[in-house]
């Protein structure tokens, strides 16, 4: 694995962990009071969880994708890392205001 | 304001606790110490939630002195129907 691919994998893995933590708060709150606002966030988390699961599958288990990534130019590789990395930043901000 | 209120009171980890604090403040303005006693909760926990509510412009301190009581902001007052709807959703009164 190239360092950039490793970075992308780590970002996607952190996203999964953050989404599970956020989802656990929202599931608990939704079961308690059933507010549609909380349900909306829960659906949002579920979709992002699927998205990051797919990324992990491509990054780690899909030989054709990995070959394409390794042979793609640095611009493409950095772009792919940013897709997951910027999401990590966004989720960290959301985590901060949700956990407090 | 609507999104902030739903988020702070219904969709964050401390939401249910903050709802209890708002209900107590709706009965009468109180300081952090009175809230801690009345709700049988840790003083620092109460201070933490009051700080979140203050930062999000839901409540404000009356004066700067140590024992200042907390009041609803004008913004919370002008959205009062929504606040009540959220309180009823998160923690229905018997």
Q: What's the confidence (pLDDT) of residue A95?
A: 97
Instruction: Convert the pLDDT of each residue in B29-63 to its tens digit.
Output: 999 999 999 999 999 999 999 999 999 999 999 97
Q: What is the pLDDT of residue A9?
A: 97
Is the Cβ–Cβ distance between B89 and B10 less than 8 Å?
A: yes
Cα B11–chain centre separation? 15
What pLDDT, on a 0 to 100 scale, did the predictor assign at position B93? 77
Token digits for A13?
A: 């893995």
ipTM: 0.85
Are the beta carbons of B10 and A98 separated by less than 8 Å?
no
Q: Are A11 and A81 in contact (CB under 8 A)?
A: yes
Q: What pLDDT was estimated at residue B16?
A: 94
Which of B10, B19, B82, B93 is most worth mutating to test chain A (most A CB atoms within 10 A of its CB)? Answer: B10
Tell me what pLDDT residue B94 has. Answer: 63
How far apart, in Å, are the Cα atoms of B27 and each of A85, B20, B53, B57, B72?
46, 11, 17, 19, 12
Q: What residues in B contact A32, CB-CB < 8 Å?
A: 16, 90
Phi, psi of B28 (to 5 degrees): -165, 145
């Amino acid at each position: 694995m190239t360092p950039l691919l490793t970075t992308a994998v780590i970002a996607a893995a952190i996203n999964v962990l953050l989404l599970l933590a956020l989802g656990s708060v929202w599931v608990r709150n939704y079961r308690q009071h059933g507010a549609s606002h909380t349900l909306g966030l829960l659906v949002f988390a579920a979709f992002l969880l699927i998205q990051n699961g797919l990324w992990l599958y491509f990054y780690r288990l899909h030989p054709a994708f990995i070959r394409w990534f390794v042979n793609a130019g640095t611009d493409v590789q950095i772009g792919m890392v940013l897709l997951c990395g910027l999401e990590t930043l966004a989720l960290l901000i959301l985590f901060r205001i949700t956990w407090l | 304001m609507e999104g902030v209120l739903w988020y702070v009171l219904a969709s964050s980890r401390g939401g249910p606790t903050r709802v209890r604090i708002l209900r107590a403040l709706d009965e009468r303005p109180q300081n952090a110490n009175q809230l801690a006693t009345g709700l049988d909760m840790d003083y620092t926990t109460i201070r933490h939630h009051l700080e979140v509510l203050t930062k999000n412009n839901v409540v404000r301190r009356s004066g700067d002195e140590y024992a200042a009581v907390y009041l609803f902001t004008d913004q919370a007052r002008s959205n009062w129907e929504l606040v009540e709807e959220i309180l009823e959703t998160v923690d229905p009164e018997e």
